[in-house]
Amino acid sequence: MISAEYTYNLSWEDMFAQATEDVSTFVRAVKDWPESSEGYPPDYLLMMILSCRARTARALQIMDNAELPEEYLPYAEQMENLFQKGEKILGEISASDAELMEKIVSKELKKRAENLLQSLQQIRSLVQQGWLTEDEQWVEDDLRETAHDFLLDFQELNLCRKELENPVFRNAVNAQSFTDAMKSAENKFRQYFGYFHAIQDITAAVREREYNPEDWWFTEIPDEDNVPEPGISPETAETLFQAYKNSPDIPEKCPDPEELIAYAFDELTAENNPRIRSHLSECHNCLNLVMDLREADRETPDMEKAEVMPVLAAAIQRKPVFEKIAADTLSSLSQKAKTIMEHTLSATLELFQWEPSLASMTVRGGSSHEEIPVKNRDVLHSGDRFSITFRADQDSYVYLLFRDSAGEIVRLFEGKTASKESQKLGPFQLDDNTGDESILMLTSAFPIENPEERIKQIKLAYQQNTEIQTLFSDIAVNIISFQHE
């Protein structure tokens, strides 16, 4: 691992500004515990207590060990007094509410820690998708957003873990299950750290928020050569390789199987990547091999090398294994692509009305609204604001459409989404044109050809009262309709 040369160089003015925010949040959180007048839930308050207490203590330590300019000495004294005020309240609530704190730590914080593993898997998947897609900007944007959210959450939870080892908490709260979940997340983070090599600036930005951090993810530089080896065993790869070679339908223009296997695991030379990527966009036989190899790698448990994974066994048993795809049938698709394109695809589309009178908070901030789920055929009113959340359980191409009360259809989103990755759009606001309106989610394994023609077919289906969900044989359709009054 490469080490980063980093020196804390925040000015005293900026440091006092940050530390004032931290100590103020710490005191406000302990005062509000456990029921905030602003609607903050107890788990959010506990995380703010733990993380802001840790940051404030670190800032005060730096001030105490340094020669402060004389003009800052009164501010440091005020900050210390405010911190001690918060400590007194914390001592009282940790004694009286230890049971509630332990419940939150062992349930809510543990769940957040376990979600970090899913985020790391999404980051790994996004990096690997960049090997297949030609839309490199889409991959980079999505990767940056996912990595940024992960680093913020991980750092916040790591501060909580350290604070729970402090005697004021350790003697009152059993945090073992949360600590174990965080250790698992940190081990996986170190294992996947190389995937962060293309987004080092995000790590640096998060690092700047901390006071002279010493954790390894802030002091080491991600090395693109330090990524996990593929989990698939050589025997399994060879089985697929031979099945591919022996298929009678492989055109002579296809690349050597060795090149495809190297491409699947990002081991192909940079100059050959564009050629293979271009070929995969046209040849489903070769795409099947790459997808099956990556699926096997994903399904192999860490530190275990399965001889034949189930997904590969299914692929190998196909007759022929890599049969040339037929445009009008699903039977010749790879196991993964077939799962995506069949109408049994598990895709989720949700609509949320924004209620401005309540508060809904996240770890690093919040907004003055609550999102209320909108069920199919619910009533919304002109002026109402709403957001859309969607997710597909496999890597997919997703198209979101809005059909207004006049029957016109507009595109809200189109692009590729990673497996089980939730995305959110909005908020949107309803105009004064009332009537039946709908949000449609079209999901496919491959880019939808002639999307404008598909939209025309959907319009016609609405006019003829035809079932929309079964309109296309190659696209799964989810719909939420509502009455706009």
Q: How far apart are CA 83 and CA 71, in angstroms?
A: 20
Q: Do residues 65 and 203 share a domain?
A: yes
Q: How far apart are CA 446 and CA 336, in angstroms?
A: 12
Q: Do residues 209 and 238 share a domain?
A: no
334: left (phi over 0), alpha (psi -120 to 50) or beta: beta
Q: Do residues 216 and 274 share a domain?
A: no
Residue 412 lies in a domain: yes
Q: CATH number of the domain that 440 lies in? A: 2.60.40.2550
Residue 270 lies in a domain: yes
Q: Do residues 57 and 177 share a domain?
A: yes
Query: Which residue, of 194, 221, 248, is where some domain finishes?
Result: 221
Q: Do residues 53 and 158 share a domain?
A: yes
**Among 136, 396, 132, which residue's Cα sits nearest to residue 260?**
132
Report if pTM > 0.75.
no
pLDDT of residue 347: 65
Residue 210 lies in a domain: yes
Residue 228 lies in a domain: no
Q: Domain tally for the chain?
A: 3
Q: Per-residue pLDDT tens, the chain, 485 aa: give them.
A: 333 333 445 688 888 888 999 999 999 999 999 887 777 889 999 999 999 999 999 999 989 888 888 988 999 999 999 999 999 999 999 889 999 999 999 999 999 999 998 888 888 777 766 654 545 565 677 788 888 889 999 999 999 999 999 888 888 899 999 999 999 999 989 988 888 877 777 887 788 888 877 888 888 888 776 666 555 455 555 555 555 555 555 556 777 766 777 777 666 666 677 787 777 766 766 776 776 666 555 544 443 333 333 333 343 333 333 333 233 322 333 343 333 333 334 567 777 776 643 333 333 333 345 678 888 888 888 878 788 888 887 777 888 889 998 889 888 888 777 777 788 877 777 888 899 999 998 888 777 777 888 888 889 888 888 888 777 777 888 888 889 98
What do you get for the CA distance between the two ends of the chain, in Å? 60
**435 and 405 in contact (C-beta within 8 Å)?**
yes
**Among 439, 349, 432, which residue's Cα sits nearest to residue 384?**
432
Domain ranges, residue 131: 9-221
Q: How far apart are CA 87 and CA 143, in angstroms?
A: 39
Q: Do residues 197 and 244 share a domain?
A: no
Tokens of 349: 């589309």
pLDDT of residue 453: 85
| Residues in CB range of 444: below 8 A, 6 or more apart | 340, 341, 396, 397, 474, 475, 476
Tokens of 20: 């004032």
Query: Which residue, of 310, 341, 372, is where some domain finishes?
Result: 341
Strand 378-380 to strand 476-484: parallel, antiparallel, or no bridges (unpaired)?
parallel
| Residues in CB range of 210: below 8 A, 6 or more apart | 55, 58, 155, 218
Q: Do residues 191 and 103 share a domain?
A: yes
Residue 227 lies in a domain: no
Residue 3 lies in a domain: no
Instruction: Return the half-sphere exposure (C-beta side, CA atoms, 13 A cut-off) of residue 50.
Output: 29
Q: Do residues 195 and 109 share a domain?
A: yes
Question: Furthest-apart CA pair in the chain: how many Å?
Answer: 83
pLDDT of residue 197: 78
Q: Do residues 337 and 352 share a domain?
A: no
Instruction: Return the half-sphere exposure (C-beta side, CA atoms, 13 A cut-off) of residue 155.
Output: 25
Residue 226 lies in a domain: no
